Amino acid sequence: MKRLLAAAAAIILLSAQSASAQAILRDAETEAMFAQMAAPLVKAAGLQNANVKVVLIQDDEINAFTAGGQTIYVNSGLIEAADNANQVQGVIAHELGHVADGHVLLGSAGAKPAMGIMILSLVLAAAAAAAGSGDAAAGLFQAGQQAATGRYLSFSRIQESTADATGAKFLRESGITGKGMLDFFKKLQNQEYRYGVENIDPFAQTHPLSGERIAHLTADITSSPAYNTPPDPALNEQFKRIKAKLMGYVDPYARTLQAYPETDNTIYAHYARAYAWHQAGYPDKADAETRALIAAEPHDPYFLEIRGQILLEAGNPRASLAPLREATERSGDSPLIATTFGHALIATEDNANLPEAIRILRQAVARDDENPFAWYQLGTAYEASGDQARAMLSRAESASINGDSKLAAYTARNAMAGLPPNSSDWIRAQDIAMTAQNDIDDQKHHRK
């Protein structure tokens, strides 16, 4: 019976996805692009830009999803598959449709009927098993499983169709063409044909088949006043750069060199190869690519960032300071770039650089307080400067973000012991210690 109950639980989680099980990729340029792509759509959805995040996930599957709240997760495979920025905007519009329509919160509306069917089949199967009819029990359970799955999948497909329509509405109200949305569905449709669409059971899918989605959306999208509005060329240029650098970062370097051979002297090719050579362990080749980038655009903050990062990770932190300092300034003090700069200042092992490192890193965590690496670097700078209490507080912040409740509680209590009572830092340490202890107590309770 426990096996049957486990199977029942699996039915309800058919469409669940966990971003925490995948690697989140944080990049200042990519996050800036996502924010620009999403801003007009977020406004059309009646949401606040400060509350909506688009997060990049390292996963080669062509997919995007929401998992609660107002965060949209986009797989690296989707960026690599997309042809232009407008296609990605179409995907973001669809996912915002899920957010605005409350689909994650409404998920229980589809789960409850499915669970009801499953529980009924379990009761009947148990009764049949008690009566000595194992075959009948298995048949009842299998029938119930199929019915529950079908009920949930039907609900999921309705949600996806609704999100398509809502996303198209957001595109129209934002003055953004929906051509990219249609084109991306056509791209997915080609994949279905490649794998044999005639062999796909449309009723066993969480999403409607792409052809059906295209048919339902075409009239609405083509009738939009924005349909023939040209996509933003600057945004598309940014997308092409990010697509190239992403390939260099996540793909095997041989594949990157095939797509961007050394005879290719475009900005995109230099960008892709800089990351590819760096990842593959060829610092001289990576350095040459960054020099080419900076020769083309000397003050581009993201080109300066990659040059500084490569110098830092090649063991030359002093040489990395100038490009990283300029990159930080020209990016508007991007927290991610500032964190790398702060790390470089610490890596020089020059105590004269510690005050600047602490200042830069404090500004970074003030603007992005969910970056455990930034907190860790701030803790390192405090420790090197002799401020053990604030070093412990920074470690507690990092541990809390990483979900390490025991370390968070321990370091927060140690921070409290060295901080002025009732100061803002002391109160923050107390909050972390209490929250971490509550988590530890809850875990103990669940284990009983």
| pLDDT score recorded for residue 197 | 52
Tokens of 121: 């089949």
Band of the pLDDT at 201, cuts 50, 70, 90?
A: very low
Kindly state the average pLDDT of the residues 212-236.
Answer: 92
Kindly state the average pLDDT of the residues 318-329.
Answer: 98
Phi, psi of 224 (to 5 degrees): -70, 140
Between 255 and 114, name the one with better pLDDT. 255
| pLDDT score recorded for residue 103 | 53
Band of the pLDDT at 160, cuts 50, 70, 90?
A: confident
| pLDDT score recorded for residue 158 | 61
Q: Is the pLDDT of residue 420 over 60?
A: yes
Q: Is the pLDDT of residue 413 over 70?
A: yes
234 sits in the region (left: phi over 0; alpha: psi -120 to 50; else beta) called alpha
Kindly state the average pLDDT of the residues 390-407.
Answer: 96
| pLDDT score recorded for residue 379 | 97
| pLDDT score recorded for residue 368 | 95
Closest CA to 140 of 157, 124, 116, 163: 124
Percentage of residues in the chain with pLDDT exceeding 90? 67
| pLDDT score recorded for residue 149 | 45
Q: Is the pLDDT of residue 49 over 50?
A: yes
DSSP 190: H
Mean pLDDT for the chain overall: 83
DSSP-derived pairing of the beta strands 64-66 and 71-75: antiparallel
Kindly state the average pLDDT of the residues 247-266.
Answer: 96
Determine the Cα–Cα distance for residues 33 and 255; give it in Å rounded to an integer: 25
pLDDT tens readout for residues 77-103? 999 999 999 999 999 999 998 888 775
- Judged by average pLDDT, the poorest of 34-43, 80-89, 194-203, 405-414 is 194-203
Kindly state the average pLDDT of the residues 412-417.
Answer: 97
Q: Is the pLDDT of residue 11 over 90?
A: no
| pLDDT score recorded for residue 113 | 46
| pLDDT score recorded for residue 98 | 86
Which residues are bridge partners to 65 per DSSP? 73
> Is the alpha carbon torsion for 357, 360, 362, 365 positive or negative?
negative
Q: Which long-range contacts (CB under 8 A, 24 or more apart) does 211-217 make?
A: 213/160, 213/161, 213/164, 213/185, 214/182, 214/185, 214/186, 214/189, 216/161, 216/164, 216/165, 217/164, 217/165, 217/168, 217/178, 217/181, 217/182, 217/185
| pLDDT score recorded for residue 104 | 57
Q: Is the pLDDT of residue 285 over 60?
A: yes
Q: Is the pLDDT of residue 203 over 80?
A: no
Determine the Cα–Cα distance for residues 437 and 427; give it in Å rounded to an integer: 15
| pLDDT score recorded for residue 192 | 67
Phi, psi of 348 (to 5 degrees): -70, -15
Band of the pLDDT at 123, cuts 50, 70, 90?
A: very low
Q: Is the pLDDT of residue 109 over 70?
A: no
Q: Is the pLDDT of residue 394 over 60?
A: yes
pLDDT tens readout for residues 287-315? 999 999 999 999 999 999 999 999 999 99
Kindly state the average pLDDT of the residues 379-393.
Answer: 97
Q: Is the pLDDT of residue 180 over 80?
A: yes
Q: Which fold has domain 2-222?
A: Zincin-like (3.30.2010)
CATH number of 252-447: 1.25.40.10
> In three state form, how does the secondary structure of 6-46 look?
HHHHHHHCCCCCCHHHCEEECCHHHHHHHHHHHHHHHHHCC
Q: Is the pLDDT of residue 270 over 70?
A: yes
Band of the pLDDT at 163, cuts 50, 70, 90?
A: confident
Q: How many CB atoms lie within 10 A of CB 349?
A: 11
| pLDDT score recorded for residue 114 | 39
Kindly state the average pLDDT of the residues 196-209.
Answer: 50
Tokens of 306: 């990659």
Q: Domain residues of the chain, as ranges?
A: 2-222, 252-447
Percentage of residues in the chain with pLDDT exceeding 70? 77
Between 6 and 385, name the one with better pLDDT. 385
